[in-house]
């Protein structure tokens, strides 16, 4: 397979949530500096891999190439709005070699099941933004394995990733970023 680099992106609350109890992004997780960072990263990516709900909730005004996870796909299918992929029917290696035959950078913006899936496939980088001081009651965690005693950092480190230097994206709102990468550097 050609060289593919997988980058995950999430902004999470102090209690590890990416969405509220209704599955929507709450105001406390919307931040201009994080959004600008995320958009600049998407500009460097060859394809964006996301869940069907996120795809339907977020318009694609820049016409970026999307790969949408859904059980409605027969495996991998090209539709007008992107490639529709069902991981239960076709492996990642086969799917991405069709979508990006020459390789390239893959952006993974979630949601939860998609973040879970790529924990097993393997992240080359996970861009973890924290909206510090925020709490989302009964929300959707970034990874299914998250619990009070197991935060996103624990789960990433169990998968062999280590954090780079913590960077402040927005001092007023206490929004910080750490990029986690495989410790062996050989992924
Ligand atoms: N804070 C953040 O960084 C962040 C990140 C991501 C999302 N969000 C927010 O979270 C919400 C959406 O996230 P979500 O987790 O509820 O939904 P989602 O991941 O966007 O979509 C879930 C859907 O994706 C498909 N899917 C996911 N994994 C699959 C798999 N392994 N095999 C087959 N199909 C699969 C299924 O579609 P079918 O039903 O068609 O089978 C599933 O119903 C949005 O409000 C979004 O804005 C926030």
Residues with CB under 6 A from ligand 1: 10-11, 18-19, 23-25, 29, 50-54, 57, 69-72, 86-88, 109-114, 117, 140
In a domain, 66, yes or no: no
What is each CA distance from 118 to 27, 32, 64, 99, 132, in whole angstroms? 26, 26, 20, 17, 25
In a domain, 97, yes or no: no
In a domain, 117, yes or no: yes
Ligand 1 centroid vs 115 CA: distance in angstroms? 9
Residue 1's nearest CA partner among 90, 87, 95, 97 is 97
Higher pLDDT, 120 or 2: 120
Going by alpha carbons, the residue nearest to atom 38 of ligand 1 is 70
Average pLDDT of the residues in 132-159: 94
Query: Which of 107, 110, 142 has most ligand 1 atoms within 8 Å of CB, for mutation?
Result: 110
In a domain, 94, yes or no: no
Nearest atom in ligand 1 to the alpha carbon of residue 55 is: 20
Query: Which of 29, 60, 70 has most ligand 1 atoms within 8 Å of CB, for mutation?
Result: 70
Q: Which residues, other chains included, contact 62 with Cβ-Cβ below 8 Å and sequence gap of 6+?
A: none
Report the CATH number that the domain containing residue 121 is assigned in CATH: 3.40.430.10
Ligand 1 centroid vs 157 CA: distance in angstroms? 23
Query: Which of 18, 73, 175 has most ligand 1 atoms within 8 Å of CB, for mutation?
Result: 18
Pairing of strands 140-141, 17-19: antiparallel
The whole-number pLDDT of residue 186 equals 52
In a domain, 128, yes or no: yes
In a domain, 78, yes or no: no
The whole-number pLDDT of residue 8 equals 98
In a domain, 177, yes or no: yes
In a domain, 119, yes or no: yes
Domain limits for position 8:
4-58+105-182
Confidence of residue 184 (pLDDT cuts 50, 70, 90): confident
The whole-number pLDDT of residue 185 equals 67
Going by alpha carbons, the residue nearest to atom 15 of ligand 1 is 111
Task: Give the count of domains, the chain.
Answer: 1
Which tens digit of pLDDT belongs to each residue from 80-130? 999 999 999 999 999 999 999 999 999 999 999 999 999 999 999 999 999
């Amino acid at each position: 397979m050609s060289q593919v680099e997988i980058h995950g992106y999430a902004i999470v609350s102090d209690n590890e949530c990416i969405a509220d109890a209704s599955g929507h992004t709450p105001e406390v997780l919307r931040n201009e500096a994080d959004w600008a960072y995320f958009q600049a990263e998407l500009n460097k990516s060859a394809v964006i891999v996301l869940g069907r709900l996120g795809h339907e909730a977020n318009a694609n005004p820049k016409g970026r190439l999307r790969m949408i996870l859904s059980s409605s796909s027969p495996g991998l299918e090209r539709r007008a709005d992107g490639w529709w992929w069902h991981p239960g029917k076709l492996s990642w290696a086969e799917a991405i070699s069709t979508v990006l035959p020459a390789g390239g950078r893959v952006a993974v913006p979630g949601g939860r099941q998609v973040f879970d899936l790529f924990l097993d496939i393997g992240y080359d980088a996970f861009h973890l933004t924290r909206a510090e001081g925020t709490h989302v009651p009964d929300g959707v965690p970034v990874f299914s394995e998250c619990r009070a005693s197991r935060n996103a950092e624990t789960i990433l480190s169990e998968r062999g990733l280590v954090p780079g230097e913590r960077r402040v994206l927005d001092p007023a709102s206490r929004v910080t970023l750490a990029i986690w990468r495989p410790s062996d550097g050989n992924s």
